[in-house]
């Protein structure tokens, strides 16, 4: 009799648990982090292997006096999902873990705006912490630290999560 009572209590307990225990793992969008090296000297050692920045982005950067340099190189990019309540890490340079960007949603995003906490880590040290308000078609440009005779520039963009459309059944 006791065995049946224990089994019954276990079934009731397990049935009362929510089906999704971790609601914070809901994906609410994707964040793309692009890392740019900007300098005025064309011959910076070790950067020749990286490709030049596309013309449209370069024209956008030149408009801002703080981001205006003679030469731009794309060091890397990383696209990661944005979770509702968990921190996320992007590694824009896949060849090293010395450069990382941590981002986390501040609140549930609206259709127009997503607010993020951003941290830039260089050599396992947090060197920049800021908040950013991102809209879908307007990336945020962050002037980073000096690095290899130039400056790092982060480009952070957000794309809202689109639920996949189920394939039509035949």
Q: Quote the pLDDT of residue 4.
A: 60
Domain membership flag for residue 166: no
Average pLDDT value for residue range 33-56:
84
102: containing domain: 24-160
Whether pLDDT at 21 is above 50: no
Domain membership flag for residue 95: yes
Q: What predicted TM-score, i.e. pTM, was given to this entire model?
A: 0.75
Domain membership flag for residue 148: yes
Residue appearing with tokens 């394939």: 167
Q: What is the pLDDT of residues 57-109, one digit of tens each?
A: 889 888 988 888 888 999 999 999 888 778 888 888 877 778 899 988 887 66
Q: Quote the pLDDT of residue 33.
A: 92
Dihedral of alpha carbons 99, 123, 36, 109, sign: positive
Neighbours of 38 (CB within 10 A): 21
Count of domains for the chain: 1
């Amino acid at each position: 009799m006791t065995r049946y009572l224990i089994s019954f209590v276990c079934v009731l307990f397990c049935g009362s648990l929510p089906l999704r225990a971790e609601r914070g793992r809901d994906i609410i969008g994707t964040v793309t982090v692009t890392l740019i090296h900007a300098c005025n000297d064309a011959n910076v050692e070790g950067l020749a292997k990286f490709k030049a920045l596309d013309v449209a982005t370069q024209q956008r950067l030149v408009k801002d006096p703080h981001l205006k340099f003679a030469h731009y190189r794309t060091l890397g990019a990383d696209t990661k999902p944005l979770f509702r309540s968990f921190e996320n890490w992007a590694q824009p340079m896949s060849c090293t873990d010395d450069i990382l960007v941590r981002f986390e949603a501040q609140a549930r995003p609206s259709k127009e705006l997503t607010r993020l906490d951003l941290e830039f880590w260089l050599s396992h040290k947090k060197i920049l912490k800021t908040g950013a308000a991102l809209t879908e078609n307007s990336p945020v440009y962050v002037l980073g630290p000096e690095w290899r005779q130039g400056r790092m520039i982060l480009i952070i963009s957000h794309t809202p999560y689109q639920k996949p459309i189920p394939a039509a059944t035949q």
